[in-house]
Amino acid sequence: MIQNHFKPAGPFAAEEVPIIQLRARLKTEIQDGNRLGLLTASATSDGHELLTVIISPLGHSVRIINSLLPHDAVTYSSLTPDIPQAHWFEREIADMWGLRPIGHPRMKSLVMHDSFPDNFFPLAAGASLPTSRMRSRRVPYRFTVVQGNGVYEVPVGPVHAGVIEPGHFRFSCLGEVIENLEIRLGFVHRGVEEHLTQCSWQSARYVVEAASSDTSAGNAVAHAFAMESLCGVTVSESVRRLRAACVEIERIACHIGDLAGICADIGFGAGSSAFGVLRAAVLGIAELLTGSRFMTGFLAPFYQRGLPDAAVLTEAASRLTEVGLQLRLTLPLLMDNAGAIERMEGMGIMKPSLAREFGLVGPAARASGIDYDVRKALPTPEYECIEWPIAIWNEGDVLARARVRAHELATSVRLAEALLTGIAVVKQPSCITRLPANATGIGIVEAWRGELIHLVQTDETGRIARYKIKDPSFNNWTALAVSVRGRLLSDFPLCNKSFSLSYSGTDL
């Protein structure tokens, strides 16, 4: 048992690092085994600052580094050359704030498309809603061109063949072999972060659920932690256990769904059907506990309305046990199936060294030998109700990612059962009527895709002035692009499914 608990409430250690020293500082932090949680910008009274969240898995702690930019500065020296995992963060900052990283190796837009007017930076101070008259055209997006004899391009998307989200994949192929894949996202950029600064904080919990609606529980819990850390309050153990149970149930449903998708992309219809039916049983448990198959509109910061009663909790736990039994019988259809293993093995390899460099999270990281799991790195008491292992494989291929999920399924079923048995119905009225001024809060959750971070800041009147969501997919898209290099074009759907990334969570 870990004695040193991470305390999600209360102020985080914050420190000021001059912008010129930030790059060297982050380099040391990462060499020391710490993680770059997120990098973003924020407005200050006198311009902008860069905010860096550093997570220390060994020290079980989180720190925020503020780096003030000089007044009126619209550029800064890029961090990416030394810290490759900052590459998308810097592109996002440029799109949303108009702060350009000088020396970024591949600077282009990430979330703002050509259909938005030029020089419109949604979060920058004084940004106004563009009218159709003030439109000036942006410099069109340019894909990286692979040159050589016989190289041709295959454009895919934004509207894909399956029932999935929109994004554009540009393959440069030589024969059937993928030489380069460039992923262009931003098609579902809905301005979620700006929305969160415009709505009341009481309705923010519904907006964060729509940020990536298949991770409703994960986003709701990260939001709750962020708001509670902002106000320095904690909720009762029962509420924390209920939240953790919801996150685990979401993980079970989604991991089963991903395995069903992997079966479908192998062409193994029987497996896909079997997992699909099992997933429905898990959604039924979510419905029983929260009134919604996707657990929307249920979990809230500060208090919990309508804690399920004892009979419901017992029923949910016994249905989970049944799901666990069914899983033990269903998983071998895929995981012990020689034909399926043959298809998955050695496919879409993400090397551990690259995975570390790009800061991968979630099952994809754990399939590439990174023992990072927020539930262990920032441990809270509710996750110590039972002993459980982190699922780690080193191969980094589709098979390893499937195995991590299969292993985590068994763990999550045990965890959710244990969490549900320790919930007592206590009425806890909400004591918060207004948010503190000039405060910062962070919520970090191991959602089913991996590390999910919410960062919230209030202004001098206690309104939400900045809200940043870092979806786990944000870190992992690069891994998809890297892992398909040298593979056949027809292998791409299976590789893609094995990463199972969120477009809307990345685009926001």
Partner 1 sequence: MIPSLIKYLQTPVQTNRNLLADLSDDNRGLPILTDSPCHHTEGCTLCAEECVASAIVLQQDREPHVTLDLGACIACGRCTDVCPTGTITVSRSTRRAVTRRDDLVLKSGDIVPVPVLASKSPFRNSMVVRYVSTGDNATDMEVGACQNPIFDVGRFGIQFTASPRFADALLIGGPVPLAMQQPLRLCLDAMAEPKVVIAVGTQAITGGLLRGRYARANGVTTVVEPDVWIPGNPPHPWLIIHGLLLAMGNPLVITP
- Interaction site with partner 1 (CB under 8 A): 113, 115-116, 120, 122, 127, 129-130, 158-159, 161-166, 186-192, 194-195, 198-199, 202-203, 206-207, 210, 212-214, 216, 257, 270, 273-274, 276-277, 279-280, 284, 287-288, 291-294, 296-297, 329-333, 336-337, 502-504, 507
Residue closer to partner 1 by CB (options 268, 383) is 268
152, HSE (Cβ side, Cα atoms, 13 Å): 5
β-strands 450-458, 100-102: how paired? unpaired
How many CB atoms neighbour CB 175 within 10 A? 11
Residue closer to partner 1 by CB (options 258, 382) is 258
- Could you give the C-alpha distances from 318 to 241, 434, 468, in angstroms and in order? 17, 40, 38
How many angstroms from the chain centroid is the CA of residue 194?
19
Residue closer to partner 1 by CB (options 393, 503) is 503
* Six-digit token string for 132: 């159709």
| Nearest CA among 169, 173, 243 for reference residue 205 | 243
Min CB(62)–partner 1 separation in Å? 28
DSSP state of 488: B
Min CB(273)–partner 1 separation in Å? 5
Contact 63, 54 (CB under 8 A): yes
Min CB(311)–partner 1 separation in Å? 12
Contact 443, 224 (CB under 8 A): yes
Residue closer to partner 1 by CB (options 79, 254) is 254
DSSP collapsed to 3 states, 229-259 = HHHCCCCCHHHHHHHHHHHHHHHHHHHHHHH
The residue to which tokens 């206590």 are assigned: 426
Residue closer to partner 1 by CB (options 163, 431) is 163
| Nearest CA among 363, 307, 316 for reference residue 476 | 363
Min CB(413)–partner 1 separation in Å? 17
Min CB(46)–partner 1 separation in Å? 25
The DSSP string of 2-17 is --S----SSPPEEEE-
Residue closer to partner 1 by CB (options 1, 311) is 311
Q: Which contacts of 16-22 are long-range, i.e. CB under 8 A and separated by 24 or more positions?
A: 16/65, 16/66, 16/67, 16/68, 17/65, 17/66, 17/67, 18/67, 18/68, 19/50, 19/67, 19/68, 19/69, 19/70, 19/76, 19/77, 20/77, 22/50, 22/52, 22/65, 22/67, 22/79
Min CB(197)–partner 1 separation in Å? 10
Residue closer to partner 1 by CB (options 256, 495) is 256
Min CB(268)–partner 1 separation in Å? 12
Residue closer to partner 1 by CB (options 214, 373) is 214
Min CB(25)–partner 1 separation in Å? 34
What is the amino acid identity at position 263?
C
Min CB(160)–partner 1 separation in Å? 8
Residue closer to partner 1 by CB (options 180, 502) is 502
Min CB(322)–partner 1 separation in Å? 13
Contact 320, 416 (CB under 8 A): yes
Instruction: Let me know how many helices (H) and strands (E) the chain has, helices first.
Output: 16, 12
The residue to which tokens 């809200």 are assigned: 467
Residue closer to partner 1 by CB (options 120, 372) is 120
Torsion (CA) 267, 273, 279, 280 in degrees, nearest 10: 150
Residue closer to partner 1 by CB (options 83, 242) is 242
What is the amino acid identity at position 47?
G
Min CB(252)–partner 1 separation in Å? 14
Those residues with Cβ within 8 angstroms of residue 102's Cβ, 6 or more apart along the chain or in another chain: 75, 76, 77, 78
Contact 217, 141 (CB under 8 A): no
Min CB(152)–partner 1 separation in Å? 21
Residue closer to partner 1 by CB (options 190, 434) is 190
